[in-house]
Amino acid sequence: MKKKEKLLNTILKLRQRSAVFSIFVLAFFVFLYSCQNKGSTENDTQEQAAKGSKEHIAKVTGAIDDNALLKAGTTPQNWISHGLDYAETRFSKLNQITTQNVKNLKLEWSYNLNARRGIEATPIVVDGIMYLTGTWSKIFAINVRTGKEIWTYDPKVPRTVGKKACCDVVNRGVAIYKGKVFAGTLDGRLLAIDAATGQKVWEKITVDQSKNYTITGAPRVFKGNVIIGNGGAEMGVRGYITAYDAETGNQKWRWYSVPGDPSKPYEHPDLEAAAKTWDPAGKYWEVGGGGTMWDAMAYDPELDLMYVGVGNGSPWNRRLRSPGGGDNLYLSSIVALDPDDGSYKWHYQEVPGDHWDYTATQPMTLADLEIDGKMRKVILHAPKSGFFYVVDRTNGEFISADKYVNVNWATHYDKKGRPVEVPEAAYKDNDFEPIPGAFGGHNWHPWSYNPNTGLVYFAAQGVPLVMADQKDFKHNTMVPGAPMSGAGWNMGWKASATAPVGPAFGKLVAWDPVKKKPAWEKPLTGPWNGGTLSTEGNLVFHGANDGNFRAFDAKTGEKLWEVYLGTGIVAGPVTYEVDGKQYVTIAAGWGGVYGLMQTHSGDEGDRRVYTFSLDGKGTMPTFPKKEAKALLKGVKYNPEHVAEGTGLYVANCSFCHGVPAVDPGGNIPNLGYSAPAIIANMKNIVLTDARLGLGMPNFSGKLTEEDVTKITAFIQGTADAVAKAKADAQNKESTGGD
């Protein structure tokens, strides 16, 4: 800068010389300046290159310590924690992109993740270096400045583990701390990866891998401890959360959410109190008990409390796991723990004695709100139950619970914070369609809270399902008609032949937790939509199942911008600033448990990371169109096998492949639209490792050739029935019949 000022002063002095002399001298200095400027440009280019170097990455990621995480919400240039900050607000103070100019957003670059299943990850970004996960727990590092890959790490999860995953072979992201990237793997490991090189630093097995545990959630780092939970409550496991030293990988503490064998000492004192809320006649410790903590966490550094959401019971049916009743602590609860030693501080149970898979594992946010004229430190939570909860985070005191979607399992919550259940909801002597269904009124999909508007933004939904009591339940035993019981699921209910009446729907909700009602809502094309991001620019970003990524006015809900990405979006977007420019990124890729058997409204676009800016000059990829699939026909079968085949199909195939020829098929094909040769030769697929690489398990030892023959009869018989119904409807329409 001093050289430029000296040059300018010299040029100004030329005004005092003769015109001709000045021209020659001026020309010389302009030439000299251009050379200097050229050198400056070259230096800038070198600096840009250096910002993707190992040295640069080591420096900037090494600076992510406790202090950096503490300030994450006020230093919006980076996105360094899963929910942006400890409070999990997903609210960015960046405001280059506003309601006025968001219409100018254009693609900067896209990166192909080369995956076929669901993409649920929230990216982490540190000074232009992005980290995220894909399917089968693969980790990616990308240079935001170029859109190019820096490194990838494949933990090589055995494909046999796919059968343990209730909800797709997905992963929700990484954590970063002092130069290391941390990620859980589907087979239950916790990895520490060098952020600069992509080399493994340490690895810990966090679960008993002989059991049906999985990890799909993103870890968090609180006070130097890497916190990781696990999933698998449907599969008959016992839930816990564990803290590992970020530097060494040594286990610091572990907290179990449900009691174990009462004949043995309890791991920590609060389990003794919890055991009093379980009936030992159900031998819950033999069937797992459930209570897995697979997603939601937050941390309040002022109170020095971490919060975690606990999952559903195992089995779902509470009469089976605890015949004498009881609240079954700490299922479906928000629990406060000491982050240093994992000791229990308090809990609030949202659904005592959970009976419908109403987990508390959905995103939670910490906020300070004025309620009834008094400032309260609260937790905001809208889990699967259909109620929006506000809880005092200092002590777990219940403040309010209000319906954000239609609810029929409970009428309301009493003043003590307990739901008033509808008797029929217990599905003891009657079939029952719980609303919301097991997919929840709101699932794991990230939400955001804007303190300026006071609103929480999330995708609500409904997926109808009718449940019937299972009186012939046996742990880890295939029972025809019991969904996925042949694949290790232990739910304790059967699929009912009664057709559901509730609609399948999706909507984007802006909820006011003080007024206890929506400020605005926007209908979506169906359920299973992505997460939201809120910004200081008065914007809400949201990706939907129809493949559109949109921006809305945070106050009014007016749609201001959208771009089509060719595949359903289920993950949450992020925003950050690199070299003075704001970017918005979303990882797009249809999947998750609903996406296994249901399609999205998009085409067959790749699973990609898309990054946008106001002056982006990237080229959008092309999206192949879906091919129309013909109904299965021509496979020979014995009609007498259809009835038995129905129960076998429900017990082994239903939650992956859906209803043949009725559901459209998602990431896993609907067999009612398969090629006849595939269905006719199912024995060679189902009873071998032929498609193990795609996650299709080998059912030999669980199913016989005769069983497969009966399942084949159900598939073709159902396709024939659908074809006949369509033909009858067309004939009726053409003849003008009633």
Q: Which of 167, 139, 236, 161 is nearest to 205 (CA)?
A: 161
| Residue in 270, 357, 606, 720 annotated catalytic | 357
Q: Which of 160, 113, 167 is nearest to 135 (CA)?
A: 113
Q: Please give, one letter per residue, the 3-state secondary structure of 582-634.
A: EEEEEEECCCHHHHHHCCCCCCCCCCEEEEEECCCCCCCCCCCCCCCCCCCCC
The three-state secondary structure class of 735 is helix
Query: φ and ψ at 336, to 5 degrees?
Result: -100, 130
DSSP string, 479-518: -TTSTTGGGT----EEE-SSPP-SPPEEEEEEEETTTTEE
**621 burial level (CB within 10 Å; 0-12, 13-18, 19+):** middle
Q: Is 738 designated active site?
A: no
Do 610 and 106 meet the contact criterion of CB atoms below 8 Å apart? no
What is the β-pairing status of strands 559-564 and 387-392?
Answer: unpaired
Cα dist from 341 to 192, 230, 364, 732, whole Å: 21, 19, 22, 69
Do 692 and 159 meet the contact criterion of CB atoms below 8 Å apart? yes
**34 burial level (CB within 10 Å; 0-12, 13-18, 19+):** exposed
Pairwise CA distance, residues 524 & 231, whole Å: 29
Do 532 and 446 meet the contact criterion of CB atoms below 8 Å apart? yes
Pairwise CA distance, residues 575 & 585, whole Å: 6
| Torsion 380-381-386-387 (CA) sign | negative
Cα dist from 184 to 178, 218, 230, 295, 422, whole Å: 18, 7, 9, 11, 39
Pairwise CA distance, residues 121 & 393, whole Å: 27
CB environment 600-611: b (16+ within 10 A), e (fewer):
bbbeebbbbbbb
Tokens standing for 93?
């103070």
Sequence-distant (6+) residues with CB within 8 A of 167 are 216, 231, 592, 593, 596
Radius of gyration of the CA atoms of the chain, in A: 28
Pairwise CA distance, residues 645 & 715, whole Å: 8
Q: Which of 552, 708, 582 is nearest to 644 (CA)?
A: 708
**42 burial level (CB within 10 Å; 0-12, 13-18, 19+):** exposed
The catalytic residues are: 357
